[in-house]
Structure 1
Amino acid sequence: MARLPGGLPVWRGRRLLGGGPAAVPSPPLPAVDASHHAGLHSVVLDAVKFADVAAPHSVHLGGHATARTDGGVLVVGVPLVWGLSADQLRVLLAHELALPPSRHPDLVRGLLEARRRHPASEKAAIRHARLLEATEPLLAEAEQVRDAIAITAAGGGLSAVEDAGRALLKAAAIGAAFAAFAAAPLASGTMSAFSTGSLPTTGPIQAEDLHDGWRLRLSRWGAPSTDLDRAALAVRHPGLAAEIRTSADGPLVALDPGAVHLDELGPAAMRTLAAEVLPNSGEAWVRLADLPVESYLPDVERRARQYVEAVNEVLGRVPDDRDELAGTLLRRPVDVERARRGLPRDPDAEGEAPPPWMGAALLAVVVEYALLRKGWRREHPLLPRRLVAPDSGAVLDLNELVRSDPGALRTHLG
């Protein structure tokens, strides 16, 4: 009886795996070859050599921040290309392409892909839970092989172990941050109403410049905060576990200056990439950069009111004036945040100094709302607290004030 590495019978693996691999979405994703995105094509060829596997049937750019191989088709997410250096991307792709020796490579890859996916239905979840339990020895061996290939692709040697671990850690961080960014209401097109005739008044929209917004967000304001479970990631990469857990802190999610150059992505390609990511399918395409203040004002107002009401609760009354409101946010941010979340006061935490930026960060939310009501607007809808004056066009970066001059925020409430 034919068995896979790890002892799993082939027939059982195929039965548990169920359906075949996913196809490239239609319309097809942008192709990568010697004539299109040649730099990325060269990195893929290098990764194939390190992985010692047959070259993919085709290579495409994808909208998600993942690198995946389905049915001989390699899809490389644009956020990963922007966020990893060329060397790190080669490590990631070599890891993705590599497989342990097997007479059934398609099945082994399908099992690895099944573990990566998140089943949508309860029935599928049960089936895949059984699959993962039954194939754990195989998957552990496969990941050991893939980690070793990643180290080789990083140059071999002790330093390469750290480099490979860093590359996979960065890729995971980019994936988590981009997923959080794309799921935010403004980016995901889940707003339900606008007060301008140029946009739909009801129903979902599709943001064709989603990835341009992501790149702008990273260059101007940084990535959204996410919790990256390093322990879980280390389990997934047993050959690099120690390096992933102890990798030096630093910017994991940013535009990498050593990233592979991509050819210009036109409107059609950007729309195709966005369509792969966004949860809604519709024909109401808009540009995020063109959204009016009304598209984000309700969310800013909601958060600002939460902090004002939390200050009322902390003081036990309405503040005497805006200066007292600002002072409470700056001096007692922990109490305000606990009140906003509906948590009781913590006597054990009283007297502890909060992070120096915390009070200013809360005040900046209230200041942004006050300025938006006075006719200011965001420089870009996806850049919170970076505002443009209504008359002069001058840019005010409230985030910079949070870091450098928190007291100056008070003046903008008046």
Structure 2
Amino acid sequence: MARLPGGLPVWRGRRLLGADDAGRAVGATTPPALPAVDASHHAALHSVVLDALKFADVGAPQSVHLGGSPTVEFRGGALVIGLPLAWGLSADQLRMLLTHELALPASRHPDLVRGLLDARHRTPAGEKAAARHARLLGATEPLLAEAEQVRDAAAITAAGGGLSAVEDAARALLKAAAIHAAFSTFAAAPLASGTMSAFNTGSLPTTGPIHAEDLHAGWRLRLSRWGAPTADVDREELARHHPGLAEELRAPADGPLVTLDPDAAHIDELGPAALRTLAAEVLPSGSGEPWVRLADLPVEAYLPDVERRARQYVEAVNEVLGRTPDGRDELAGTLLRRPVDVERARRGLPAAADSEPPPPWMGAALLAVVVEYTLLRKGWRREHPLLPRRLVAPDSDAVLDLNELVRSDPGALRRHLG
């Protein structure tokens, strides 16, 4: 009886995967609208893919494409590499990640094995589908364990072998996980995929999803200015999935994980149509609503959200003091001196009897939210709608970075509040 890695009978693997999943894993093709990666398009990235294929010791996919999600995945015979990963990993790290995702344990049924592995990352809808998915994961646990050992070893080989290569491979996977978490948070923000109901800009919808064709351009701009939104990575979960790299994945990270990597493989310039296609991979599909450029959204698009958060902090200060603050100086002083109490009050938590001293920037960070709202009401605007607290003065191109003041000059925040 033919068996898959991990001892799973082939017939049972096909039954567990299901006819629909098997078709998606083996015979489906990627929509041709996704930007192709080959010797003529994104040649540097194409070279990285060729290197990874050699280290993984697998045949070439039917095609390679850029995708909008921060993932590497197979869709039928097509390999789809997420643009956020291509920007955020060095070429060497991307080669390690691709090698890890391409490598498979020896089998006469590689497409079936890959389909079973990929099924882990799908979230089924409905109780019956969820029960079948749980049975699939339980039955394929030995296969998954063997596959992860093979993949970890292949990534280490792609990193050059040796002890330092183990650390390099672990960092590549850790960075990929951090990019996935940070970009997912970014794309789920109200301006990216929420509902716009507080303003009317003529041609834009007043309700419904916002379809932002320049979502990835906004992400790149945000990274180039001051980094990614905060996102947590579950290192223990990563370590469980990568037994060959577990110790290194738990080690403290050296330097920021989510940046535009200066050593990333070069990506050719992407036009508006390609950026729209990539954004459509991430954002909810629409039903007739127009696509918009996030960079063109007016202040009215983000002012309500800023106002909501600023009012939360003002109300929290009222609760901490037991009264309305005596002017803006006392409001600012309370935010700066008692940020833990204010934050707990905002969240509806009781005051803490004893607590660790807050980070030195915490109070200034709370104050910056209130200052941003104050300046927006006075005619300032954001340099880009997706760059909170980086503001442009009225009738001027001068940029005020409140985030920089949080770090360097909290006193200046008080002056701007007044």
Q: Normalised by the size of structure 2, how large is the TM-score?
A: 0.96
Q: CA deviation at 1:413?
A: 1.2
Q: Which runs of 5+ in 2 are unaligned?
A: none
Contact 2:88–2:260, Cα closer than 8 Å, also in 1 = yes
Aligned to 1:166: 171
Q: CA deviation at 1:129?
A: 1.0
User: Which deviations, in whole Å up to 9, do the C-alpha atoms of 1:198-245 show, x marking residues without a partner?
Assistant: 322222220000000000011112111111000001111111111111
Aligned to 2:393: 389
1:47 to 35, 44, 52: 52
1:142-291 counterparts in 2 under 5 A? 142-282=147-287, 283-291=289-297
**What is the distance in 2 between the residues matched to 1:123 and 1:29?**
33
CA-atom RMSD in angstroms? 1.2
Aligned to 1:110: 115
User: Which deviations, in whole Å up to 9, do the C-alpha atoms of 1:282-339 show, x marking residues without a partner?
Assistant: 4410000000001100000000000000000000000010000000000000000000
Matched residue count: 412
State the AA in 2 paired with 1:13: G
CA separation of 1:185 and 1:54: change in aligned 2, threshold 3 A:
same
User: Which deviations, in whole Å up to 9, do the C-alpha atoms of 1:165-194 show, x marking residues without a partner?
Assistant: 110110111011111100111112432342
**What is the distance in 2 between the residues matched to 1:192 and 1:179?**
23
**What is the distance in 2 between the residues matched to 1:73 and 1:123?**
29
Q: CA deviation at 1:100?
A: 0.2
Contact 1:91–1:154, Cα closer than 8 Å, also in 2 = yes
Identity of aligned residues (%): 83
Aligned to 1:318: 324
**What is the distance in 1 between the residues matched to 2:357 and 2:198?**
42
Q: CA deviation at 1:407?
A: 1.1
Aligned to 2:367: 363
**What is the distance in 2 between the residues matched to 1:288 and 1:134?**
45
**What is the distance in 1 between the residues matched to 2:231 and 2:202?**
36
**What is the distance in 2 between the residues matched to 1:25 and 1:368?**
44
State the AA in 1 paired with 2:17: L
Aligned to 2:3: 3
Contact 1:44–1:90, Cα closer than 8 Å, also in 2 = yes
1:399 to 397, 403, 415: 403
**What is the distance in 1 between the residues matched to 2:125 and 2:179?**
23
Moved segments of 4+, more than 3 Å: 22-27
CA separation of 1:49 and 1:129: change in aligned 2, threshold 3 A:
same
Q: CA deviation at 1:158?
A: 0.9
Q: Which runs of 5+ in 1 are unaligned?
A: none
Q: CA deviation at 1:15?
A: 1.0
**What is the distance in 2 between the residues matched to 1:63 and 1:255?**
16
State the AA in 2 paired with 1:123: K
Contact 2:209–2:284, Cα closer than 8 Å, also in 1 = no
1:293-332 counterparts in 2 under 5 A? 293-332=299-338
State the AA in 1 paired with 2:11: W
| Structure 2 SS opposite 1:277 | coil
Q: CA deviation at 1:406?
A: 0.6
**What is the distance in 1 between the residues matched to 2:178 and 2:125?**
23
Aligned to 1:98: 103
1:345 correspondence with 2:351 = yes
1:32 correspondence with 2:37 = yes
2:125 to 90, 95, 120: 120
**What is the distance in 2 between the residues matched to 1:111 and 1:247?**
32
State the AA in 1 paired with 2:353: P
State the AA in 2 paired with 1:154: A
Q: CA deviation at 1:122?
A: 3.2
Q: CA deviation at 1:402?
A: 0.1
**What is the distance in 2 between the residues matched to 1:44 and 1:95?**
12
**What is the distance in 1 between the residues matched to 2:107 and 2:126?**
31
Task: Name the stretch that deviates more: 76-85 or 242-251.
Answer: 242-251
Task: Name the stretch that deviates more: 64-73 or 131-140.
Answer: 64-73
Q: CA deviation at 1:24?
A: 5.1
CA separation of 1:27 and 1:48: change in aligned 2, threshold 3 A:
closer
